[in-house]
Each structure stands twice: as structure tokens, then as C-alpha cells.
Amino acid sequence: MPKSPVPDRSQTPARAGVPAVPAPVSASVPAPASTDVGDVISGAAASCPPVSSSLSGDAEPVIEVRDLTKRYGSHTIHEHLDLTVGQSEIIALVGGSGSGKTTLIRQIIGLESPTNGHISVFGHDITSIDRRTSHLLRRRSGMLFQRGALFSAMTVFDNIAQPLRELHTLSEDLIRDVVMYKLEMVGLSGRMANRMPSELSGGMIKRVGIARAIALEPELLFLDEPTAGLDPQASDEFVDMIRGLHHSLGLTVVMVTHDLDTVMMLATRVAVLAERKVLVNAPVEDVVRVDHPFIHSFFLGERGRRALLALPAARRARISELLDDGK
């Protein structure tokens, strides 16, 4: 879906309960003034110390998981799992079905509690913080669920506006400006604002989900199977959008995916979940050198080798002998 400027919305009929969206002065929507939105959001998270923008080895990680164990009754999902995510990285979590990729994400964002172990986000151990600090931390991250998870009874506008309204500090005029700007950021026309989720394609639903996830200008973005169900062209365009948002917003991204093409195009590092833990967390050209059955089947099968050929030449040269072995 190509990105386009927000068109004239003067002819867009308003649905009941949705603020009327006036026609803009120009064809595109300007970014809301940072003195309005940015100050409000940063003020709401003032109790959470920022992470250094440095990527040096002594920089504090955005996410640090240590000795994590997760059980459901007698069934163990994770056992002594460790994972570190640095600022501005794009980490792809891959693993076989049932390896606990989504379960790990749910624990990091606080939707589930670990059985044992520690999870630190922005320097705070989320297994021991108070409710207020936990709420403030959540405002610094956004989440795209696998099927978008839009509220079916709400318009696109209200879905994106929901986290902004929960702040209870923004005027409806400012919320309208932010919503329209976020729609433009994800390549959707302003005319989408008054549509219901049932009127959207799968790709549009994911884009609206991203717009909602970045509504509060988060530093950390979680993606659960972001390109699942998209055709190849829509998938490539969605990946381009995520890459652009990562660059323009300075995001740290953690994504669960089975899509090898998405991994090759986006991930700075790949964390492989196997045997109830993170087996390796490294650039893909280092991951493929690890001698493990899942890594062999996932990355070095016919489909995996094709995807590896999409790596930049310098990175591809590091694994040329592995690719040549498959010929």
C-alpha cells in the first residue's frame, strides 16, 4: 500500500460519536507541536529514567531478562532464559511452535508474570515495581498484536485516540491532530478515520494497529507476527514502513516472526528460542553458524538459503561457504 499525503477530508461523513474531521489547510497534516503532545507524554513518564542513546558496551539495556522461568502448572515454557535488548536494535524472536515467543513478549510487557527470574525494562525490575511505575513504563512502549486487536465497535479514529484519551490531559482538538498525523505516518489516508475495522483489509488493520501503538510516541515497540497474512507486496511495504518508523522515531523494536524475509530485511539481531531458553542472540550471519537442528532447518533449508541471499553483500560474504554448500 503506497504512502500518500492525507487528502481533503471535508467530504468525509462523521459517524455517531466520532469528532468531525475538518478539511486541512494543506494536503498533508503537519506534526503536532512538540510543546503540546511531547511535553504531556514525557511528563507522564517523568518517573522513568531515560536510557542512554549510546550503543557502547556499558550502555544500560532497554530490556534485560535474567534467569527467567515460566510454568503453567507442570508444563515449563521457559527455563533459566536470558535475553538482552540494546537501544535502537531490531530484535527478531524466532523459534518453533510452542517455544514461547509470544509468552516471552507478554511477560516483558507485563501481561503475564514469570514464575521465577527478573525482567528489567528501562532500568526498572518489572517483577517488583509498584503499580504507578508499571503504568508509566507501559506508556513508553507500544504493541502490535498479531491480528491487530482493534476494538471492533470503534472507528479507526477512536481506536487510535484511545491511548491518548486515557491520559485525560489532551483536548479533543489536539487528539484529532495527533490521530490524523499518526495515520499519515503509517501511510493511510485521513478518509480511513471514520471507517470501522470490519471495513478494512488485513494490511490496513495492521497499519491502524501500528498507528495506535505509536500514538504516545513510545521508545519501545513490540510486534507479534507483523507480516503474517499479507501478500508479498504488502509485506514488503509494511517492512519498509517499520524500517522508516524505526529510523525516524529512534525506536527499539522486538518482533516475533516466522517470516524469513522480514528477518533478513529488518533484524539487527536474531534471538533463537529453543530448549526453553534463548539459544543464541546475534546477527543472523552468526546465528546460522550455530550447530543446532532448529537453526539448520529454519535458516539453512531451501527457503532459508534464498532469504539469506537478500543480506547485504558484506554480510552475505561472511557465510558464503554455508550458502555454497547448499548448491
- Extents of the domains making up the chain: 63-325
Q: How far apart are CA 38 and CA 32, in angstroms?
A: 9
Q: One-letter amino acid identity for 83?
A: L
CB 174 within 8 A of CB 133: no
Q: Look at strands 252-256 and 220-224 and give their pairing.
A: parallel
Q: Kindly write down the DSSP assignment for every residue of 239-300, as one continuous string.
A: HHHHHHHHHHHT-EEEEE---HHHHHHH-SEEEEEETTEEEEEE-HHHHTTS--HHHHHHHS
Phi, psi of 306, deg, nearest 5: -60, -40
Residue 16 — left, alpha, or beta (φ > 0 → left; ψ -120 to 50 → alpha)? Answer: beta
pLDDT of residue 148: 77
Beta strand segments in 57-200, E: 63-72, 75-85, 90-95, 116-121, 124-125, 141-144
What CATH code would you report for 63-325?
3.40.50.300
pLDDT of residue 325: 67
pLDDT of residue 30: 44
Residue 126 DSSP code: T
pLDDT of residue 70: 97
Residues of the chain with pLDDT under 50: 1-36, 40-56
Reported as a single tens digit per residue, the pLDDT across 6-50 is 333 333 344 444 444 433 333 334 444 443 455 544 444 433 433
CA 173 from centre of chain:
27
Q: One-letter amino acid identity for 291?
A: D
Q: Model pTM?
A: 0.81
Q: How far apart are CA 61 and CA 38, in angstroms?
A: 23
Distant-in-sequence contacts of 302-307, Cβ < 8 A, 24+ apart: 302/326, 303/260, 304/260, 307/260, 307/261, 307/263, 307/264
pLDDT of residue 2: 47
Length of the chain: 327
